[in-house]
Structure 1
Amino acid sequence: MSRKNSGNQLIETRDGSHTVYSSQFDQHYHNPNGAVAESRYVFFEQTGLPEALSKQKDITILELGFGTGLNLMLLLDYYLSRQSEAHIRYYTIEAFPLKADLVQQFNYEDYLTHPQIARKVIALFDKLQKGLNHFTLLDNIDIYLFNGFFSDFNPDDSIRADYIFHDAFSPDTNPDLWTGKVFETLARHSHPNVMLSTYCAASKVQGAMAWAGWKIAKAQGALGKREMIVASLSDEPLSHLERINEERLARRYKEGDF
């Protein structure tokens, strides 16, 4: 969704870690109660990704909303802490990259076991070109950062995500990234046992996922939020979570009942 970019502001969240307030979308990039704490909980603790780093040889991750780069920093930190040897392919999309001078002020290194990781990711912001950018980090991690809109992102058909970080601005302010068509596209580029996680639990989003063929479960939300969503294309990865009625939600979404 195209809007005039009228500026961003660095904010300290309640756990001390930084986030950014976007006047363009009138939202914070992270939960004001804790940027690092929220990202760890939603995209790593709820998906089992840290454990997978110790076991799997190849992992593909697809992220909607590169934002501050925090999720990538945390991934690299877990990677080193687990002494992983996996080959990681990290695809991430960002339509409005942050300015390098703002990113330089982030304090994320204070929250990492391997603080040097933060500088490696922050350095990427100064190298971005329009379109697809390819970077290699830690020798075995390929970053494919698409600077543009999701609708213009045309990944290779061979891409099959094992994990999806759906970390876009909320459906109230950025509805284009929460439609059934978007989740249909994500499904087309995913393994059957993919784990998709998002901080959002809006009923319309659940309906869009269900319409696109996703299996959906609810989990406790992060830092004061009541719920969050974890989804897959198969039942097994969600067996430990509270499932919802996908058929009913898909029907309501198709009928426009949201």
Structure 2
Amino acid sequence: MTQKPITQAALEWRDGLPYSPAFNDVYFSSDDGLLETEHVFIQGNALVNRWQQLPGDTFTILETGFGTGLNFLCACRAWLTHAPVNAALHFISVEKHPLGAADMHKALLHWQPLHAMASELLTHYDTLLETGTASLFNDRVQLQVLFGDATACLSGCSTKADAWFLDGFAPAKNPDMWQPALFAQMARLSHPQTTFATFTSAGIVRRGLTATGFKVVKIPGFGRKREMITGYFIGHGHGS
């Protein structure tokens, strides 16, 4: 199958932060994107606890929206700190419009605590754009980025998620992604211990996840965001 040409993201930089004019939205929180990622995705999926008690030798995260790689690097940092040294993290992300190497470098300079980890990603970034895969941190992390529409990419995926990072631009600004077909693919790629977390608590997302077999729980959001949602897969035929 021939790979379609990748259209890289067209960014603007506003007050030193990457902004998407196409989606009229920011790539990460101006409050503190790093703390937001920790709150929403790492804590929202209870990853530290789960990794300290990991029953097997692999753990798989599926993500919608690779963006600046901030979620990925936060997950790597927690993994390298808390997971068994002989275990491997498989991180599979979808991205329709990846950042070019220069924009990626500039975006990641923003996060001083992640500089060493970002350096590892940036070393492999050109290869990642070409092949969609990279092995990092002495093979303890296997990264795969699927370039294209989220639902289409996931429909060609067969790897089950242990946790979902449901990201991407806000539902009101990126309605093409937050569709019933996406939630159906999430259900197909989940098992009874699969969790999810997302920054949004929009009704379309809550209803879509509930309809495809996820238990949805509202919890306090980060910073100025009043609410976010987390939950887990319970299968079809269950109410939330």
Q: TM-score range by the shorter chain?
A: 0.7 to 0.9
Correspondence for 1:8: 11
Counterparts in 2 of 1:1-258, with a 5 A limit?
A: 7-11=10-14, 19-56=17-54, 57-82=57-82, 84-85=84-85, 86-105=87-106, 106-112=108-114, 115-129=115-129, 133-138=132-137, 139-153=139-153, 154-157=155-158, 159-234=159-234, 246=239
Letter in 2 for 1:135: A
Letter in 1 for 2:135: T
Across the aligned residues of Structure 1 and Structure 2, the Cα RMSD in angstroms comes to 2.3
Correspondence for 1:239: none
Q: Secondary structure of the residue that 1:32 maps to in structure 2? A: coil
Gaps of at least 5 residues in structure 1 are 13-17, 236-244, 248-258
Deviation at 1:186, TM superposition (A): 0.6
Distance in 1 (CA, whole Å) between partners of 2:26 and 2:51 is 29
Deviation at 1:170, TM superposition (A): 1.1
Deviation at 1:108, TM superposition (A): 4.7
| TM-score when normalising by structure 1 | 0.80
Q: Secondary structure of the residue that 1:231 maps to in structure 2? A: strand
Distance in 2 (CA, whole Å) between partners of 1:182 and 1:99 is 26
Letter in 2 for 1:24: A
Deviation at 1:78, TM superposition (A): 1.3
Distance in 1 (CA, whole Å) between partners of 2:62 and 2:118 is 20
CA shift digits 1:129-173 (9 cap, x unpaired): 46x61211121221111111123314443x111100001111112
Gaps of at least 5 residues in structure 2 are 1-6
Q: Secondary structure of the residue that 1:161 maps to in structure 2? A: coil
Q: Secondary structure of the residue that 2:123 maps to in structure 1? A: helix
User: Is the Cα–Cα contact under 8 Å of residues 220 and 226 in structure 1 kept in the other structure?
Assistant: yes
Mark the CA change 1:178 to 1:83 in structure 2 (over 3 Å): closer, same or farther. Answer: closer
Correspondence for 2:4: none
Letter in 1 for 2:18: V
Mark the CA change 1:223 to 1:124 in structure 2 (over 3 Å): closer, same or farther. Answer: farther
Distance in 2 (CA, whole Å) between partners of 1:146 and 1:121 is 16
Distance in 2 (CA, whole Å) between partners of 1:148 and 1:8 is 18
Deviation at 1:99, TM superposition (A): 1.3
Q: Secondary structure of the residue that 1:67 maps to in structure 2? A: coil
CA shift digits 1:181-235 (9 cap, x unpaired): 2111111111212111000001121111111121110010111101001021139
**Greater Cα shift, 56-65 or 121-130:** 121-130
Count of residue correspondences = 226
Identity fraction in percent: 27
Higher RCO, 1 vs 2 (CA within 8 Å, ≥6 residues apart) = 2
Q: Secondary structure of the residue that 2:216 maps to in structure 1? A: strand
| TM-score when normalising by structure 2 | 0.85
Correspondence for 2:3: none
